[in-house]
Amino acid sequence: MSTRSKTLNLHEWSKDDTIISLYVTKFGNKGMYLKNEVEIAKFIGTSVGSLKMQCANIRTLLGDRKNSLSDFSSLQEQVYKEYGSLSQMELLRVVKNIIKQDEFERIEILKRMGKDPRKLVKIN
């Protein structure tokens, strides 16, 4: 995490976060486990406003000049070049794998802490 992000308590976007944002920008939340912008932003660890700005930057890369921002990052450009041409189903598969891996890692952390993940209650 950059010093600026730490100092300002900002979310630093990862490649996985950006891939999810690319999917949301192109296809909405169709087929995702996360059902709305609030759940998507919460999963990523950011605000809905920040997610919307991320999507606006990606829209520029997609060639959409309406409701877009032109200050996209090199990470956004890299993700677009690598994943932008995938079909909805191909990109959805990538997104679902990201979400499953995150859930697996969270369960492993809980186990190492001596907690039983099955006994925890999910709070929305």
Residue 111 resides in a domain = no
Residue 80 resides in a domain = yes
R_g (Cα) of the chain, nearest Å: 16
Residue 19 resides in a domain = yes
Q: For residue range 90-124, list pLDDT tens digits in order.
A: 999 999 999 887 777 777 777 788 877 777 655 54
Residue 76 resides in a domain = yes
Burial class (CB in 10 A: 0-12, 13-18, 19+), 4: exposed
Residue 58 resides in a domain = yes
Q: For residue range 16-74, list pLDDT tens digits in order.
A: 999 999 999 999 999 988 889 999 999 898 999 999 999 999 999 999 888 878 888 99
SS3 50: helix
Q: What is the pTM of this model?
A: 0.78
Residue 79 resides in a domain = yes
Residue 121 resides in a domain = no
* Tally of domains in the chain: 1
How far apart (Å, rounded) are the C-alpha atoms in residues 5 and 3? 5
Domain residue limits at 32: 14-95
